[in-house]
Amino acid sequence: MSTIAIPARHGGDRVADVLQAHGVRCVYTLCGGHISPILSAARARAIRVVDVRDEAAAVFAADAAARLSGLPGVAAVTAGPGITNTITALKNAQLAQSPLLLLGGAAPTALQGRGALQDIDQRPLVEPHVKRFFKLRRVRELGPAVEEAFALARSGVPGPVFVECPVDLLYDEASIRQWYAEAGGKGRSPADRALRWYLDRHVRRMFEGSGAGSPARVREVATPLAGDASIGAALAALARARQPLAVIGSQAVVNAAEAERIATAVARLGVPVYLSGMARGLLGRDHPLQMRHQRRQALREADCVLLAGVPCDFRLDYGRHVRRSATLIAANRSTRDAKLNRRPDVLALGDAGRFMQALAERAPQGGQPGREEWLAALRVRDAAREAEIDRQAQVHGELVNPLALFRAIERDAGENALFVADGGDFVATASYVLHPRGPLTWLDPGAFGTLGVGAGFAIGAATVRPEREVWIVFGDGACGFGLSEFDTFVRHGIPVIAVVGNDAGWTQIAREQVKMLKDDVGTVLARTAYHEVARGFGAEGLLVKRADEVDGALKRARELARQGRPVLVNVWLDRTEFREGSLSM
């Protein structure tokens, strides 16, 4: 009677046990021998492993998964260049306050600093961009470190955490002991014997206590809550205000499962609101309290401003958009962000989403009376701006008007659409025109302004929200970062719809550079056949050069996506003056 050999338990199993206990459904990776046991063990536990073509895309995917689920996304990359390739994506996640776990390979513990393959000191490169860098030396440390990393990523101000997993901690003990025995050789000299003694002691210490492991566990993470005093002070300030305004940002929806409750709270407060970052779409497409245009003017007119999960950084002109006489309420998990560039009159340290819910529970139903004129004035301005966009969208040129293109996408995209934004001028234009369909249906890089997030974000979005129709809005400059991930889309059956706004240039930079320096150096691209590149990877590609081709191409793209095919629509754009004078510093 034959028996089936069961592979020896190894360190990768310890890591995967913790991933499974935390409900991780997907690990994003680019393979490498240093991390193979983690990937194998994850797949053995029915955790989906999505392998990409660039390590940055793996971290971007984990970032998007975290934002949409509220749980830390997980990426795994190999040692050395695998880790250095993630730095931009890690920094983007840190500044966006996304909770994610990066598992990084490392050279064998006994060979670190001795010139081993892909061996570098990874701590000084990674540590500035994560909440904590775990450097492990014992097999028994693997499970507890990953458990702690999950909790730390979500606690306080969320962010990325890095766990370094040396390769000799991940493979099974018998194989590692044999490897070290062979490394010690069979020489009889005192030096040879001393080496074998040292290596034997090193291995014993590595595996010491590894047989007494405990089941993987999920550590409780308390949500930080603002105090009653700050809630009361904020309610009093809002009650006094005749022209209050709220600005809600990504941090307010970090508890993704509470997005609907936060939306209900905002509606109950009755305060007009601008939404940014991950909060875009919180109130649906056309809520009467949501304002979309002229935010700077509205902030300067407001007598009470509530910033929920939003710092006074460059996006609010470092606090100068809020007039000095206004009462400023700042709800934020981060003391630094709450006080950045402008000291608030009411400081509410804690989760901004929970703060909004607490305000709504105590506020009068429907908000304070006497604000009808304020709301009406904001709505009139919004309507006037929408009418102006409609007028500009009617301008016809030789190619496609980008405003008209976005009006078409707004009409044609499904009610279950989720938009991923990756680009400069083209994406900024999209933010004026596209209306996210509901909470957590808009993904942009965040405060770092990183280009190249699109493909990775789409991978994360499609794996966490497979029921969604995932669109990538690509600038032609930005799409160059992620074109190779169309191979990933095809291999893993991820039916994204990518629309490339092809105006043959880095237009956001060129607008001001040419005006100020009279030089377009470095900003000129070609009308590249991005659709043919997508076809080369096995996806579908469509080319649109004229306005009358737009609707048919978008309908065809949606049909292909419903069939499970990723598709890229390459749209040749006319230049416009829609965003003149938009340079941010």
**pLDDT digit string (tens) for 315-350?**
999 999 999 999 999 999 999 999 999 999 999 999
**Bigger pLDDT: 83 or 511?**
83
Q: What is the average pLDDT across 267-296?
A: 95
The arrangement of secondary structure in 228-376, i.e. its CATH architecture, is 3-Layer(aba) Sandwich (3.40)
Q: What is the average pLDDT across 50-59?
A: 98
Superfamily of domain 394-572, CATH level 4: Thiamin diphosphate (ThDP)-binding fold, Pyr/PP domains (3.40.50.970)
Q: How confident is the model at residue 113 (pLDDT cuts 50, 70, 90)?
A: confident
pLDDT of residue 575: 83
- pLDDT of 1 > 90? The answer is no
Q: What is the DSSP string of 482-538?
A: HTTHHHHHHHTT---EEEEEE-SB-HHHHHHHHHHHS--TT-B-----HHHHHHHTT
| Angle subtended by helix axes 142-154 and 11-21, to nearest 10 | 30
Q: What is the average pLDDT across 395-403?
A: 94
Q: How confident is the model at residue 584 (pLDDT cuts 50, 70, 90)?
A: low
How many residues in the chain?
A: 585
pLDDT of residue 4: 37
pLDDT of residue 579: 60
Per mean pLDDT, which range of 22-36, 112-126, 560-574 is the poorest?
A: 112-126
Task: Round the average pLDDT of the chain to a whole number and report it.
Answer: 93
Per mean pLDDT, which range of 111-120, 422-431, 465-474 is the poorest?
A: 111-120
- pLDDT of 583 > 90? The answer is no
pTM: 0.95
pLDDT of residue 581: 54
* CA atoms of 557 and 496, how far apart (whole Å): 9
Q: How large a percentage of the chain has pLDDT more than 70? A: 96
pLDDT digit string, tens, across residues 206-242: 999 888 777 889 999 999 999 999 999 999 999 999 9
pLDDT digit string, tens, across residues 403-420: 999 999 999 999 999 999
- pLDDT of 5 > 80? The answer is no
Q: What is the average pLDDT across 410-433?
A: 94
Q: What is the average pLDDT across 263-282?
A: 95
Q: What is the average pLDDT across 124-152?
A: 96
Superfamily of domain 11-171, CATH level 4: Thiamin diphosphate (ThDP)-binding fold, Pyr/PP domains (3.40.50.970)
| Angle subtended by helix axes 173-184 and 190-207, to nearest 10 | 170
Contact 33, 43 (CB under 8 A): no
The residues spanned by each domain of the chain are 11-171, 228-376, 394-572
pLDDT digit string, tens, across residues 291-300: 999 999 999 9
DSSP state of 243: S
Q: What are phi and psi of 26, to 5 degrees?
A: -150, 135
Closest CA to 234 of 359, 365, 370, 374: 359
